[in-house]
Structure 1
Amino acid sequence: MFCKHCGNKINDGAVYCPICGGELGKKVADSSNRKMASDKIRNFNQVKKMSPKKTKKIKILAGIICIAIVAAFIGNYIYNMDCKHVVNKYMKLMAEEDYIQKEYKLLPEEYQQYMINSYKEDNDGADEAEMLEEKQKDYEEGMQLIENEYGENWKYSFEIKKVEDASRKEIREWKQNLEDSNVKVNRKIKGMKNVTVKFRLQSEDGEKNDKTDMDLVVVRLGHKWYIAKTGW
C-alpha cells in the first residue's frame, strides 16, 4: 500500500506511515511496525521543536553583532566629541581675564609638572605661582597688542576644521619630552590627536578681519582629554 500523506510505499495494514509518521487510520499489523511509526513521529516532533530554537539563536547572535557595530560607531563618535569638547573649551577662554589659570587646568598634570621643572631650571628655582604670574603678564601684553590693532571691542570666532590621529612617533616624542624633564607619565596614553582650528579675529566695525589656522594637540590620559601642550 501507499501512504496517503507522503505517497511512499509502506507495509499493508500499517496504522502510521514509517516515513512521515502520518496516521493512516487502520489496524496495526505488528508491534515492530507500530514502534517504527512511533519513533518517526517522535523524531519528527523533535526536529520541529529544535528548528525554532536554532533560528532564535541565530537571531540573537545577529542582534549581538549589530549592537556591537552600533556601539563601536557610537563609541568612536563620543571619543571624537570629547576631544572636540576640550578644544572648544580651550578656545572660548582666550578673551577671559583669568585665561592663563584656566588654560593651565586644561593641561594634564604631567605636562604641568614638566612646565614647572623647565621654568625652575631657567629661573633659578622659581616656583609655580611665579611662573603663572609671569605668563599672565605676557598674556595681558598680548591682549593689549590686539586691542591696539583691532580696537577695544574686538571679537573672535573659531571653527574646528580637521581632527586627525597623531602618529605613534608623535606620541612617543611627547612622552619622551616629559620624561627628559624627570616627569613620569604613569597613566596610559589612550589617544592623541592633531586638531586644526580656523580662527578669525576682527574689529567691531568689521574693517579688520583676519583669518588663520591654529594647530592644537590633544591627548587622552585615562578617560579624559587634555590640551597636550601650550604655546607659552
Structure 2
Amino acid sequence: AGASLAALLAATTARRLPPLPPVPSATPRPALGPAIAEGAGFVLRHPLLRAIAACAITWNIAFFMLAACFIPFALNRLGLSAGEAGIALGGYGVGLLLGALAAPHLVRRWTPGVMLTLGPALSVLAGLALVAGPQVPGLALPILAHFLIGFGPMLWQVSQTSLRQIVTPPALLGRVGATMQVAVFGVRPLGALAGGAIATGFGLDAAMIAAALGFALSTLVILLSPLVRLKRMPDAVTA
C-alpha cells in the first residue's frame, strides 16, 4: 500500500513539473590530431606558457634523476638505514602539505614572478644539500632537501596553474592542459633512465650533481623568461 501511494504521489507531482528544456545539440568534436597540434602550438607560441613548459620539463627530468638514485645514494653514500631513508623521503610530503597551506597566503604578499622563481630555486638548494650530504652525516640534510623539493614546487604549481588558466582561451584549456601533462609525464621515465645511467657510469655522487644542475637549469629558464618580471597576473583571456 505504501509503495502504491508513493507511486501515485510521484506520478501526480511529475505531471505538475514544467517541461524540460530542449537538449542542445552537441557541438562536433575536432579530430584528435588537429586538437593536439592546436594545443601544442598555442603553448609554443605563448611566451609565458612556453617558459612554464620548459621549466616543468627540465625540473621533472632532474627530479626523477634524483628519485631514481636517492635510495642507493642514501644507503651507500649517506650511511642511512632503510628506515632513515624513508624518514628523509617523508620530508617531501611535509613540504607539499605546508606548501599547499602557505600558497594562498604567499600569493597575496609576493608577486607571481617571485612565486614562479622560488619553486625551482628552492629545488637547487635541495640538490646542493644532497650533494653535500656525504660530508655532513645525519638526517638533517636529506630531510631538508626533500622538504624543499616539496614546498617550493608546490608554490610554483599553484601559481603556474592559475596563470595558465588566465592566459589560455576557455576553448583551449583542455588542450593546453593535456599538452603540459603529456610533456611532463613523458619526460619522467627519461629522467629516471638518465639518473640510473649516470649513477652506473660515473657514480651516485655524479647523479646527485646532475640532478642539482637540472634544477639550476629549470631556474635559469624562469630567470631568462618574462615570468620573472610578472608583478601581477595578466588580464584573463575570455575568447
Is TM (by shorter chain) over 0.5? no
| Greater relative contact order (Cα < 8 A, sep 6+) | 2
TM-score range, shorter chain: under 0.3
- Name the structure with the higher helix share: 2
Which of these two proteins has the greater Rg computed from alpha carbons?
1
What TM-score results when the alignment is normalised by the length of structure 2? 0.24
What TM-score results when the alignment is normalised by the length of structure 1? 0.24
